[in-house]
Amino acid sequence: MKLTGAQIMIKCLENEGVEYLFGIPGGVILPTFDALYDSKKLKFILVRHEQGGTHMADGYARATGRPGVCMVTSGPGATNTVTGLATAFMDSIPLVCVAGQVVTQAIGSDAFQEADVTGITRSVTKHNFLVKDVRDLARTVREAFCIATTGRPGPVVIDFPVDVSRAETEFVWPKNVYIRGYHPKLHLRPSAATKKQIQEAAQAIMESKRPCLYVGGGAIASDAHKEVFELVNKTGIPITTTVLGLGIFPEDHPSSLRMLGMHGTHYANYSVQGSDLLIAVGARFDDRVTGKIDKFAPQAKIVHIDIDPASISKVVKVHYPIVGDIRAVLRVLNPLVRDLRPQIAPWLEQIAEWKKKYPMKHNKQVGTEIHPDDVIEKIGEITEHKAVVVTGVGQHQMWTAQWYGFRKPRTMITSGGLGTMGFGFPAAIGAKLGCPDKTVFCIDGDGSFQMTITELATAVYFKVPVKVVIMDNGHHGMVRQWQQLFYRGRYSGSQTFMINPNFSKVAEAYGAYAITISKQDEVIPALKKILAYNNGPAILHCRVAREDNVFPMVPAGHALDQVMDMA
């Protein structure tokens, strides 16, 4: 039977196991939306802005490990997805975005709502396609999903001209995908060459005196928490994670050093700097992690396990490179190592001393003011560290990383690489849709929340019960902190308090449940209230201390052990 391109697109998405589509229809994508009308499997989430749609798809992907999917119209619909695509690209998140395009013959003629989408998205996607012939469509969609989800994951755009969506052809679902230029390492058994590299790394681990594990988002993408736990448990090697690696290992475990980097713990950063063997597992040596690069881990030999060969030796010289999937590699590595605790006892003692001497410190409680770090710690306790926590970007994001106490993988969802304000709330909606049985919190800043506040309408309409806690400090707090510390308090562009709306009233106007609080003793009762409300989004607007700072802090461009802290 012949189907139209639009029908084929919908069939392919169904066959790929897609559950939700996020987006907004418009002119040239209407044939596809018409075909969607007949689908019994795909649920369409009408968002209020395409950026929000991409973040929802992203949150869905991070929470579930399955690709998130968007469908938007040409021109402005497609350009509105760019920030979301770039966010997903930087953090290696699998997305597929179908964008309508003007008729093939009109491409390049500045037609109505035409944009060069493959050109615009080229540098923020893992790959993109322009489908010019309906006979290529099914294969292209399969390839798009394959590319998005395998190897180092990432977003893929399919530019879909309207005439192709109307053209008819026989529908054939390609069984296998073969792309001759694409050979990612799969979740297969490591090759003999890789095994040899793993053996060499194992040898180095067994000989080390001051080893340290540095684990990132790649370990989460690989669902390798069990293997990581086994490695630490067996060897006793201390472990620190990046912000994107939080949750891969329980932070209450004695081997945990918690997060490293600019706002990491003293002891994580000192451990990295003092190590003689740094074992990087699915982490990419971001400058927020390494500080000044030529002073980074000066005595360490480096083991780097990563699925992307281009990630290895990109920033620092690696002595033991291992290209492969984390889970597959650790399954080979773990049996090759033994308990190192006796051999590294002095190192572990040194770390214990750092932990005692430089603990994480709360902001001082003055009067009845609410401090975000305290609220976040309470959210951790009240949810037993099991909730999925999604953040905006800024101080509240870093306090969340420091104080929630992550224990489970895929529970910390945050824009690390691009640092996209406005990511949090829509991503939380996507995460909740993907994990209906989990409690999902969005911990947001007043600035970040307002970038995608319009998605309140989406959350209310679809009754998505996310818990949103807005830390309203009346500032773009992270910017203010930098200006206070590094620009002599010259609050350029942030000197006035932000003109914020009454967030509760705005939320209520959208039909959401909302509470505003401003005293510390109101926190727990208010958290209980929003946890009890499950008929849609519940917003807790916290008016918090205006000028709290995030510490510890390694100023940009400094060595990782040059840590500033509060008095």
Partner 1 sequence: MKHTISVLVENHFGVLAHVAGLFSARGFNIDSLAVGETQDPSVSRMTIIVHGDDQVVEQIIKQLDKLVDVIKVEDITQDDIIERELVLIKVKASAETRGDVMQIVNTFRAKIVDVNPQSLSIEATGGESKVDAMLELLRPLGLIEVVRTGLIAMARRKQLEVPSKEGPAKKKSSRAPSTKKKGTV
Positions that interact with ligand TPP (CB under 6 A): 392-396, 419-421, 445-448, 471, 473, 475-479
Strand duo 2-4 + 43-46: pairing: unpaired
The dihedral formed by the CA atoms of 362, 233, 204 and 184, expressed in degrees to the nearest 10: -90
Binding of partner 1 at residue 101 (CB under 8 A)?
Answer: no
Is residue 65 at the binding interface for partner 1, with CB under 8 A as the rule? no
- Could you give the CA distance from residue 103 to residue 337 in angstroms, rounded to a whole number? 60
308 burial level (CB within 10 Å; 0-12, 13-18, 19+): middle
When binding is defined by CB under 8 A, the residue of 123, 203, 299, 518 that contacts partner 1 is 123
Return the number of the residue (144 or 545) whose C-beta is nearest partner 1.
144
Query: In the complex with ligand TPP, which residue's Cβ is closer, 451 or 459?
Result: 451
Q: Which does 282 bind (CB under 5 to 8 A by kind): partner 1, ligand FAD, ligand TPP, none?
A: ligand FAD
Q: Looking at beta carbons only, is 186 or 556 nearer to partner 1?
A: 186
Smallest distance from partner 1 to CB 323, Å:
10
Which residues partner with 72 through β-bridges? 24, 99
Give the burial class of 408: count Cβ atoms within 10 A of its Cβ; 0-12 exposed, 13-18 middle, 19 or more buried: middle
C-alpha distances (whole Å) from 326 to each of 188, 221, 404, 411 are 11, 9, 26, 19
Choice from 1, 178, 192, 356 touching partner 1 (CB under 8 A): 178
Task: Return the one option of ligand TPP, partner 1, ligand FAD, none that residue 132 interacts with (CB less than 5 to 8 A, by type).
Answer: partner 1
Closest approach, Cβ 234 to ligand FAD, in A, equals: 20
Pairwise CA distance, residues 257 & 79, whole Å: 41
Contact 566, 361 (CB under 8 A): yes
By a kind-dependent CB cut-off of 5 to 8 A, residue 221 interacts, out of ligand TPP, partner 1, ligand FAD, none, with ligand FAD
Contact between 307 and partner 1 by CB under 8 A: the answer reads no
- Which entry of partner 1, ligand TPP, ligand FAD, none binds 325, CB below 5 to 8 A by partner kind? ligand FAD
Binding segment for partner 1 (CB under 8 A), chosen from 182-190, 268-276, 284-292, 350-358, is 182-190
d(C-alpha 143, C-alpha 149), whole Å = 10
Tokens of 514: 């909302």
**Does residue number 187 form part of the binding site for partner 1 (CB under 8 A)?**
yes
Work out how close the CB of 243 gets to ligand FAD at its nearest, in angstroms, rounded to a whole number.
4
Q: How many residues does the chain have?
A: 567
| CB 86 to ligand TPP: min, Å | 11
Nearer to ligand FAD, 54 or 397 (CB): 397
- Among residues 185 and 475, whose Cβ is nearest to ligand TPP? 475
- On whether the CB atoms of residues 257 and 267 are closer than 8 A, the answer is yes
- Nearer to ligand TPP among residue 208 and residue 395 (C-beta): 395
> 10-26 burial, b if ≥16 CB within 10 A, otherwise e?
bbbbeebebbbbbbbbb
Residues that bind ligand FAD (CB under 6 A): 91-92, 152, 216-218, 221-222, 242-245, 259-264, 282-284, 286, 288-289, 306-308, 311, 325-326, 393, 397-398, 416-417, 419, 478
Measured from the CB atom, the residue of 202 and 260 that comes closer to ligand FAD is 260
Q: Which is nearer to ligand TPP, 259 or 279 (CB)?
A: 259
Rounded to 5 degrees, what are φ and ψ at 97?
-120, 120
Closest distance to ligand FAD from the beta carbon of 192 (Å): 19
Distance CA 1, CA 429 (A): 38
Q: In the complex, what is the shortest distance from the CB of residue 285 to partner 1, in angstroms, rounded to a whole number? A: 13
- Return the one option of partner 1, ligand FAD, ligand TPP, none that residue 261 interacts with (CB less than 5 to 8 A, by type): ligand FAD
Q: Minimum distance between the CB of residue 61 and partner 1, rounded to whole angstroms? A: 18
Residue 338: how many CA atoms within 13 Å on its side-chain side? 5
Residue partners of 373: CB distance under 8 A and separation at least 6: 362, 363, 399, 402, 403, 548
Interacting partner of 326 out of ligand FAD, partner 1, ligand TPP, none (Cβ under 5 to 8 A depending on kind): ligand FAD
Q: What distance, in Å, lies between the first and last C-alpha atoms of the chain?
A: 74
Q: Is 122 in the site for partner 1 (CB under 8 A)?
A: yes
Which residues are bridge partners to 68 per DSSP? 95
The dihedral built from the CA positions of residue 313, 316, 319 and 321, taken in this order, carries a sign that is negative
* Total number of residues that touch partner 1 (CB under 8 A): 27
Scanning 95-136, the segments in alpha helix (DSSP H) are 117-121
Span near partner 1 by CB under 8 A; candidates 37-45, 86-94, 126-134, 350-358 = 126-134
Q: At what angle do helices 326-333 and 192-207 cross, to 10 degrees?
A: 60
Write out the residues near partner 1 by the rule CB under 8 A. Answer: 118-119, 122-123, 126-127, 130, 132, 146-147, 150, 176-182, 184, 186-188, 308-310, 313-314
